Amino acid sequence: MALMSSTFAGYHANMERKQYISTLENAYRREQGRSISLLVSLSDSHANVASLLAPDDEKYPLNSNAIPQDLVDLAVAHLRVLHHFRQPGVEHAEQAVNWQVAALKAAASFVQNVKGKNWPVPVLITLAKDLRRLTFMLMKLTDSRGSAVRDEEETSKHNPYSKASDTIMVAFRICAADGRTADNESKRVGMMGLVNQMIRIYSKGELWEMYRPLIRALDPFSTKMTFPVGQMVTYRYFVGQKLVFDGDFRKAAEYLTYAFERCLKTSVANKRKILMYLLPAKMILGQMPKLFILKKYNLEQFEEVVLAVKQGNVRRLKEALETHQDFFVENGIYLILDKLSTLTFRNLFKKISMMFGTHQIDIGLYVRALRYLGMHDMEDAEAQCMIANLIDEGRIKGYLSLVHNKLVVSKTNPFPMKIG
């Protein structure tokens, strides 16, 4: 009885594989890249067919004379991925990543050999996405069991993040090299989708230094070629985030504004992620968000910060940052928001200047205000340095008269809100 059951299961597996390869042949014959991408996707329904998951390559091998060998190799590697993907444990996760790497390499070779056409490009992007997801899954498993403890050289050598990104880079170079084909058939259309997967990997692995070569490679094409809006939103978000960390707030605001405005209205969680970095960038530039925006996207942690900056209340700003320190640190923006103290000082000095209605203000007035707000050790010399920095940044239009210990401000727009 067991032998009959085993024979029937083997027969069923063989039939499923024949049907799978037949579907692949039909998609290849019709040059349906999206159909092939589904047949090698971990998210497609075929990934749950039990008879396809068994590692029976030797007993029931995949063979076809109707498709290139690279595509056969891709199918074999994909079924191996499915087998390990559905099994628990770190060892299976590692094997799934290894076979996904093999699948993407086979696909890259296949795409490279299709001359003058870009219909197979979706296959590369699908495989790259799944490789990223499998890599993240593997790293989560290794971190949870503490098995990723190796010496520095060993870790670098076997780092799954580097392994995944290096493999995707092979596919990217094949697409980037297709410069002689007409734009509507060029494989370069796949560059953005592949770069997005590498950027996600670098972000997760905190490999920030790897962003720059990708940006340099892609930027010349981002204005010349038409990429899908969704891919552009992803790209602008991650690059904008990096620009925030680099301190290039004006360009960061440009990239993140593009991403926010074109992100689907229904993708509230994604729009909130974009705002997490767009808000600090614009605030540093002197553009305060409306409070209803903070409430709409559940970002009330910024509310006290915004009010403190507007009021020029440095004590309130300090308290707001301390209250929500864990939230801001977790999202990597605490030190960036701390830079708002400069803008807060500017607003405070503006209020004092307006109170006295003169363009010559005694430095001592600023010192007394700062002491009242908790900076008890403030002296004239320190206040003069702060004002000099604000003048240098363009937040105050005027000059210091050290002889008279006064700030002399311009009679026209002495406290510009937007700098640059």
pLDDT tens profile 7-16: 334 444 566 7
Q: Which residue has the higher pLDDT, 152 or 293?
A: 293
Residues 314 and 344 sit within 8 Å (Cβ to Cβ): yes
pLDDT tens profile 220-261: 777 667 889 999 999 999 999 999 999 999 999 999 999 999
pLDDT tens profile 33-74: 999 999 999 999 888 887 776 555 555 567 778 899 999 999
Closest of 389, 349, 386, 382 to residue 365, by C-alpha: 349
Q: Cα–Cα distances in Å, from 301 out to 35, 87, 270, 292, 344?
A: 45, 41, 18, 13, 17
Tell me the whole-structure pTM to 2 decimals: 0.83
Residues 103 and 78 sit within 8 Å (Cβ to Cβ): yes
pLDDT at 202 over 60: yes
The residues that bridge with 362 in the sheet, in sequence order, are 406
For residue 42, what is the DSSP state? T
Measured between alpha carbons, how far is 311 from 308 in angstroms, rounded to an integer?
5
Q: Which tokens hold the place of 341?
A: 């103290």
- Class (C level, CATH) for 341-409: mainly alpha
pLDDT at 99 over 60: yes
In this prediction, residue 390 carries a pLDDT of 87
The percent of residues above 70 in pLDDT, for the chain, comes to 89
**Single-letter code of the amino acid located at 160:** P
pLDDT tens profile 342-380: 899 888 888 888 888 788 888 888 888 888 888 888 888
pLDDT tens profile 112-163: 999 999 999 999 999 999 999 999 999 888 875 544 444 444 444 457 888 9
Would strands 398-401 and 406-409 be described as parallel, antiparallel, or unpaired?
Answer: antiparallel
Measured between alpha carbons, how far is 155 from 157 in angstroms, rounded to an integer?
5
- Would you list the domain boundaries of the chain? 2-227, 341-409
In this prediction, residue 153 carries a pLDDT of 44
Go through 153-183 and write b for each residue having 16 or more CB atoms within 10 A of its CB, e for each that does not.
eeeeeebbbbbbbebbbbbbebbbebeeeee
Q: Which are the contacts of 39, defined by CB distance < 8 A and separation ≥ 6?
A: 20, 23, 24, 27, 46, 75, 78
Coil, helix or strand for 401? strand
**Sign of dihedral through CA atoms 398, 400, 404, 405?**
positive
